[in-house]
Amino acid sequence: MPKQEPGYGPENPHPLSTRKTELIWEGKYDEYGNRREVDIAGCAMPMQKIETIDEPASRLKPLDLFDSEKAHKDDFRNMLIWGDNKLVMASLLKDFKGKIDLICIDPPFDVGADFTMDIPIGDSKETLGKDQSTLEMVAYRDMWGKGTDSYLHMMYERLVLMKELLSETGSIYVHCDWRVNSHLRLILDEIFGRHNFRNEIVWQKIRSSKGQSKSFGNVLDTIYFYSKTESSLFNKQYVPLAEERLEKHYKYFDEISEKNYQLCDFTQKGQGPSRVFGDKGEIAPPAGKHWIWSQEKIDEGIKKGLIVFTSGKMPHLRSIEKLSLNSIERKSCRTQAPRSFTAEKVLLCVMWTALTGFLPARS
């Protein structure tokens, strides 16, 4: 007798009717429908030190081939590692699991092409051609063997390992373009959690595009910013204001900080309750307005001298002269990748591989 199909319905729902939103690619599940784990068994291997650069003078001495002393053990600086990054990260887990504060990656964009390149030499117009090595050819063949499915599986495995390496306050920035940004966003949501998504950073990589007959030019790239946990480290950056704006808006001078400041409105639209402002007592906001801070924050602001009372006996917020980097990005980085510039010896905006807003934690 022919095999009868099961009767699906309210009492026996079809598996697809209960599946949650998810990005699926060939290789994500095994033949039995089980989620494939990232297999790193046998991936971890010892690294061979080729060269140590900028060795402290105290360690400039010949080392025996089997000398166990590690360079920079107490003032670790950097490692430049050549090899398949899956193998490298698997090898780093032993010593660096949960210790990396910042990861920035610029993976291939699923272009399906080899990466033979011409490398410029100095400031001259000469270039040195670099062909793919055997290792690179094998790696890219595995990466593109099944098209986008291979690419997504490759990225998923590596992003899982990166999450393992990140510290509890760590963050990751992933650079991509129009080819895979929608896919990678779903993978990052799955691995790090949608609640740990911080920003989608979009920057214009070129000023003008090639002539497009039926579409707009592809001039933008995307950088996804995720954290491992909700307690991620992020330090907001500021730059000095222009003199013209200082003279126009920052008319008051603070003798303690020796900086100018302005008085800002302490209310927003929408009726709210009265608050207690120190020895001034309880003050109700104007009709149709509410105080912008909670009582706890107002108490803290009074102690720090951030709340000032004018002759009208209404509280105002004292704002010291500074401009958020967010404003700088809107004004200066609209048509190019973030640039490097400094203000008061503070690095504010650099190329995306050393992103602003993050200062490594001190242990």
* Domain span including residue 289: 241-321
Pair (293, 207) in one structural domain: no
Question: Do 84 and 27 lie in a common domain?
Answer: yes
Residues 154 and 259 in one domain: no
Q: Does residue 342 sit within a domain? A: no
3-state secondary structure (DSSP) of residue 255: coil
- pLDDT of 59: 57
Other beta carbons within 10 Å of 136: 15
Query: Side-chain half-sphere of 61: how many Cα atoms within 13 Å?
Result: 7
Residue 261 lies in a domain: yes
Whose CA is closest to 184, among 225, 231, 239? 225
Buried b (16+ CB within 10 A) or exposed e, 96-113: eeeebbbbbbebbbbeee
- What pLDDT is stored for residue 16 in this prediction? 80
75 occurs within a structural domain: yes
Residue 199 falls within a domain, yes or no? yes
| Farthest-apart Cα atoms in the chain, separation | 95
The answer to whether residue 122 sits within a structural domain is: no
Q: Specify burial of residue 190 (Cβ count, 10 A radius: 0-12, 13-18, 19+).
A: middle
* pLDDT the model gives residue 287: 92
How many domains, in total, are found in the chain? Answer: 2
Q: Are residue 89 and residue 211 in the same domain, yes or no?
A: yes
Each residue's pLDDT, cut to its tens digit, for the chain (363 residues) gives: 555 566 888 888 888 888 888 899 998 998 888 889 988 877 777 887 777 666 555 555 554 444 545 555 555 567 788 888 888 999 999 889 999 999 999 887 765 555 555 556 556 566 655 566 655 555 555 556 667 888 899 899 999 999 999 999 999 999 998 888 999 999 999 999 999 999 999 888 777 666 656 778 788 899 999 999 999 888 776 667 777 777 778 787 877 777 778 888 899 999 999 999 998 899 999 999 999 999 999 999 899 888 888 777 889 888 776 654 544 443 333 333 333 333 322 332 333 334 434 333 333
Cα–Cα dist 318/254, whole Å: 10
Tell me, yes or no, whether 97 and 186 share the same domain. yes
**What is residue 195's DSSP assignment?**
G
Q: DSSP 3-state assignment of 359?
A: coil
Q: What is the pLDDT of residue 134?
A: 59
What number of other Cβ atoms are within 10 A of residue 240's Cβ? 13
User: 156 and 88 in one domain?
Assistant: yes
Q: State the pLDDT at residue 219.
A: 83
Chain centre to alpha carbon of residue 31 = 35
| Within-domain flag for 251 | yes
What residues does 282 pair with on adjacent strands? Answer: 276
CATH number of the CATH domain containing 103: 3.40.50
128 CB-near residues (< 8 Å, 6+ apart): 118, 119, 121
Query: Do 265 and 296 fall into the same domain?
Result: yes
CB atoms within 10 A of CB 217: 11
Final residue in a domain of this structure, among 178, 199, 227: 227
199/266 same-domain check: no
* Pair 191, 312 in one domain: no
Query: Distance of CA 23 to CAs 111, 153, 161, Å?
Result: 20, 11, 19
